Amino acid sequence: MQIERVGVVGCGLMGAGIAQVAATAGFETVVRDVSQELLDSGFTRIRQSLAKRVEKGALTADQQAAALTRLRGTTRLEDLAASDIILEAIIEQRDEKLDTYARLDRLCPPATIFASNTSSLSITELMAATGPERRRRFIGMHFFNPVPLMNLVEVIRTVLTDPEVYRQACTFGASLGKTVVRTSDRTGFIVNRLLVPYLLDAVRALEEGVAGIADIDLAMKLGCGYPMGPFQLLDFVGIDTTYYIANIMYEEFREKRFAPPPLLKRMVLAGLYGRKSGRGFYDYADPAKPAPLEY
Ligand code: CAA
Ligand code: NAD
């Protein structure tokens, strides 16, 4: 089976980015979110991101226009039924994802491949929400934020994944312009297994009074050559998403390094989700000069 039509579930930070790269790479793409308002804000992000790619010379104006013609938004899950592959990028909550997969399994023909962009949930657990046939066509495709700029995708197989489906998924990842790394279904895969404890440890260092937000960021940028400090990156990924990820990883490993620090929980309760809500470890009221949270 040739992959020609792509369905994306979720039009948040990641879903919008995945839909953008799929449409840019020439695939007919339908992206679904739960309300028109959320779809509209996802499409605004896509338009801004494409415009930035054109500005930087990474895309021509014709490619930008063609990508937009291949992209369609919907609030109906049924509109994804004609997809050859469905890339799921909804919130990192187990029950929400299980419910979505059970519904998609009923809607889609047996040939459709299901791929989850989960950061921390088990692909096998998500797969188990579908019927026996689909389980052979269920994989993880874990992209990185911001999807249009980050060149990696982790492709994850379960013990039941059909080798031909896995090969197709790897080829599809490469056709989106990404470098593919192959991993098995272990929580956090490669990148988050190593990255998440580092980010959580930065919050613990802050809580312990090692240094302030701006100094920790500066130290890791200049001391390690990282493009962003840990708090800039936490704001970028989303404080809510990081909190969900930490809870899931802690539940899996029962190790302190994966436990969500208390400050993270309080920030979620206070609605400080990072860049996407305008405030996290920094306040983006003046985006040119984000001010660190008074902590
Ligand atoms: N689309 C979307 N966002 C774009 C963009 C595009 N085409 N071009 C630039 N950006 C964004 C940047 O995020 C940032 O936003 P604002 O303009 O709104 O402030 C800004 O544009 C900075 O862009 P620059 O033009 O200065 O770009 P840069 O060359 O500095 O690179 C970057 C930006 C690639 C994001 C770089 O800072 C970087 O590599 N940061 C680290 C990102 C990272 O580690 N991502 C992985 C997160 S972990 C993950 O994804 C897994 C998980 O499961 C949690
Ligand atoms: P987000 O909060 O920006 O977006 C999630 C979107 O999913 C929201 O727009 C929400 O309305 C939508 N949604 C919720 N339930 C839905 C449903 N049933 N159908 C369709 N849409 C639904 O989150 P995000 O950062 O885009 O994360 C999405 C997924 O990608 C998560 O599994 C996350 O762990 C993973 N991920 C995130 C990052 C990151 O850096 N943020 C990186 C890699 C992977």
Q: Give which of 234, 248, 243 is closest to 279, Cα–Cα.
A: 234
Ligand 1 atom having least distance to the Cα of 20: 1
Whether residue 148 has its Cβ less than 6 Å from ligand 1:
yes
CATH of the domain at 228: 1.10.1040.10
| Ligand 1 in reach of 193 Cβ (< 6 A) | no
Tokens describing residue 44: 């605004």
* Domain identity same for 219 and 255: yes
| Distance from chain centroid for Cα 184 | 18
pLDDT tens per residue, the chain (295 residues)?
Answer: 799 999 999 999 999 999 999 999 999 999 999 999 999 999 999 999 999 999 999 999 999 999 999 999 999 999 999 999 999 999 999 999 999 999 999 999 999 999 999 999 999 999 999 999 999 999 999 999 999 999 999 999 999 999 999 999 999 999 999 999 999 999 999 999 999 999 999 999 999 999 999 999 999 999 999 999 999 999 999 999 999 999 999 999 999 999 999 999 999 999 999 999 999 999 999 989 999 998 7
In a domain, 19, yes or no: yes
Cβ 49 under 6 angstroms from ligand 1: yes
Q: Model-level pTM?
A: 0.97
| 294 annotated active-site | no
Please check whether residues 95 and 221 belong to one and the same domain: no
- Is 287 part of a structural domain of the chain? no
Rounded to whole angstroms, the Cα distance separating 99 from 97 reads 5
**According to the model, what pLDDT value does residue 254 have?**
97
Candidates 119, 120, 122, 247; catalytic one:
119
Q: Residue 159 half-sphere exposure, CB side, CA atoms within 13 Å?
A: 4
> Range of 54's domain?
5-184
Tell me the C-alpha distance between 273 and 159, whole Å: 35
Q: Which of 151, 166, 184 is the last residue of a domain?
A: 184
Residue 89 near ligand 2, beta carbon < 6 Å = yes
Longest C-alpha distance within the chain, in Å?
Answer: 56
Ligand 2 centroid to Cα of residue 225, in Å, is 29
Give yes or no: residues 41 and 153 share one domain: yes
Residues 179, 197 within the same domain: no
Q: Are residues 171 and 229 in the same domain?
A: no
Mark whether 202 and 167 lie in a shared domain.
no
Of 123, 149, 184, the domain-final residue: 184
Question: Minimum-distance ligand to the CA of 195?
Answer: 1
The answer to whether position 289 is within a domain reads: no
- My answer on whether 111 and 95 are in the same domain is yes
Domain endpoint, select from 149, 184, 219: 184
Question: Which helix (DSSP H) or strand (DSSP E) does residue 138 occupy?
Answer: strand 138-143
Q: Output the CA 91–ligand 2 centroid distance in Å.
A: 4
Q: What is the atom index within ligand 1 of the atom nearest the CA of 241?
A: 54
Residues 176 and 208 occupy one common structural domain = no
Minimal-distance CA residue to ligand 2 atom 43:
144
pLDDT value of position 295: 74
Does one domain contain both 199 and 173?
A: no
Same domain, 101 and 79: yes
Task: Please tell me whether residues 150 and 14 are part of one structural domain.
Answer: yes
295 belongs to a structural domain:
no
Which CATH number belongs to the domain containing residue 19 in this structure? 3.40.50.720
What radius of gyration do the chain's Cα atoms show?
A: 19
Residue 192 falls in the annotated catalytic set: yes
Query: Are 64 and 179 found together in one domain?
Result: yes
pLDDT of residue 294: 84
